[in-house]
Amino acid sequence: MRSRNIKCTFYRDVDICRLSLNAQLLFICLWSYVDRDGKMILNVHQLPMEYPNLAKMNMEKALHELNTYQKLSGGKFLTIYEIEGVKYLKIYNFNKHQIFNIKEHPHGYPEPTDEHSTVVCQHKQSPIKTNETDSDFEECYAAYPRKEGKSQALKHWKAHPRSKEDMLRAIRNYENDLKKRYLDPTERKKFTQQAGRFFFESWQDWVETEEDRKAKAEAERQRLLLAKEEEIRRRYTEEHKEDK
């Protein structure tokens, strides 16, 4: 889960006010689960484990309400879709209303398309995509510096697909950062996350190093500068054509 922002205007929104209280609560809870693109793998049985209050409501009914509600403007709050046997959820325009941590990256979940028809939530558990074997997990777990919480780590590994290459890169970057921060091995182990927590979501923050992010930011800055220069040249050419 991640920290999200809720604006003071949320409950004054006309469309939000037309939702049931259960749908409003569920909608807010979903924000902590989706990535910065507003997407997540949908498992209706996992959510109440993190938010006990959700166990008191009919989640399928609340999800169906959010999934089928048409805003006055014609848009939707979210959509639920299925690709290759895996159910996904996407909240529309999510990144327009949130401020994200610089280390947070999207999971790369597939986008819904016209061929992926909207799915109505069922009472049975949603199918979860798992790794083909546990050998990749064992290799990643063996590479992790703190061997605690293996059962939780395996649970998160199966529930949230990720590539072995990304995971090993994240572990390597995380371990290198720890070695820079804490020279004493005893102190380093003390501040190293347990595997169960790292394998859940923290690994996403370490797939890229700070140098990688700075290089990407610089490349984007150069691209924008070139685009701006091109626009200035275009306008200059058009103005002088009119003079001629």
Q: pLDDT of 82-138, one tens digit each?
A: 888 888 999 998 888 787 777 778 788 888 876 554 554 443 333 434 444 578 999
Residues in the chain: 244
State the DSSP H helix or E strand holding residue 219, giving kind and residue range, or none if neither: helix 210-243
Is pLDDT above 50 for 222?
yes
Instruction: Report the pLDDT value the prediction gives residue 170, as an integer from 0 to 100.
Output: 92
pTM over 0.75: no
Give the whole-angstrom CA distance, residue 52 versus residue 160.
21
Instruction: Report the pLDDT value the prediction gives residue 124, as an integer from 0 to 100.
Output: 38
Inter-axis angle of helices 59-68 and 21-31, nearest 10: 80
Give the whole-angstrom CA distance, residue 13 versus residue 96.
16
Three-state DSSP class for residue 73: coil
The burial class, CB within 10 Å (0-12 / 13-18 / 19+), for 39 is buried
Give percent above pLDDT 90 in the chain: 14
Give the whole-angstrom CA distance, residue 215 versus residue 76.
36
Task: Give per-residue pLDDT as tens, 37-60.
Answer: 889 988 877 777 777 777 778 888
Instruction: Report the pLDDT value the prediction gives residue 131, as an integer from 0 to 100.
Output: 42
Is the CB of residue 159 less than 8 Å from the CB of residue 43?
yes
pLDDT band at residue 140 under the 50/70/90 scheme: very high
pLDDT band at residue 243 under the 50/70/90 scheme: low
Instruction: Report the pLDDT value the prediction gives residue 118, as an integer from 0 to 100.
Output: 52
Instruction: Report the pLDDT value the prediction gives residue 95, as an integer from 0 to 100.
Output: 81
Is the CB of residue 168 less than 8 Å from the CB of residue 157?
no
Instruction: Report the pLDDT value the prediction gives residue 220, as an integer from 0 to 100.
Output: 78
Instruction: Report the pLDDT value the prediction gives residue 172, as an integer from 0 to 100.
Output: 92
Q: How far is CA 95 from the centre of its chain?
A: 11
Task: Give per-residue pLDDT as tens, 164-218.
Answer: 898 999 999 999 989 988 989 888 988 999 998 899 878 888 887 767 767 777 8
What integer is the mean pLDDT of 137-149?
92
